[in-house]
Amino acid sequence: MNAQIPSKIARGSAELAILALLNEQPLYGFQIAKHIEERTGGVLRFTMASLYPMLYELEKRGHVKGSWESNEAGRDRRYYSLTTVGKKALAPLRREWRAFFHALDTLTGFSHA
């Protein structure tokens, strides 16, 4: 799946991926892209063009908050952390996606394929 696909599904899944990741720890843009690529075995990949507009959109909605901090190498990076609003938004988003995959699985049986 490519996060650049202009569809609500791709957009929604990308949103969920970012929020779920930031729920674990604050990360900066490059780390977010790297973690998602590594942890999905390269199935989900974010380019800068897909990642930053989404991060800024989430920040505008108050789901994440960015702040400049030094990373382990002493360089300034903008770390994003999940806000209380973001945490509240993550729970229903997870439920929606669970229901969506459950429904799709019931219909297509892809988990048995």
Partner 1 sequence: MHDWIAVVRENLNELDLPAEQEQAVVTEMAAHLEDLYEDYLRKGLSDAEAFQCSLEQATGLRTTRRKIRRAKCKEGLMNSRTKTLWLPGLATLSAASISLMLLQQFAYLHPEVWQKDGGALVVDLPWLLLLPLCGALGAYLSQRARGQRIASLVAGLFPSIIMFAVFCVLIPVGVLVERNQFIIHHPTYFMLALVNWTVIPALLLFLGVVVVWLRSADREALPSRAS
- Of 5, 39, 57, 69, the one binding partner 1 (CB under 8 A) is 57
Strand segments, DSSP code E, in 38-75 are 64-70
Specify whether the CB–CB gap between 30 and 111 falls below 8 A: no
The closest of 60, 51, 64 to 90, measured between CA atoms, is: 64
- Of 25, 39, 70, 96, the one binding partner 1 (CB under 8 A) is 96
Residue 76 near partner 1 by CB under 8 A? yes
> Which residues contact partner 1 by CB under 8 A?
28-30, 33-34, 47-49, 52-53, 56-57, 59-61, 75-78, 89, 92, 95-96, 98-99, 102
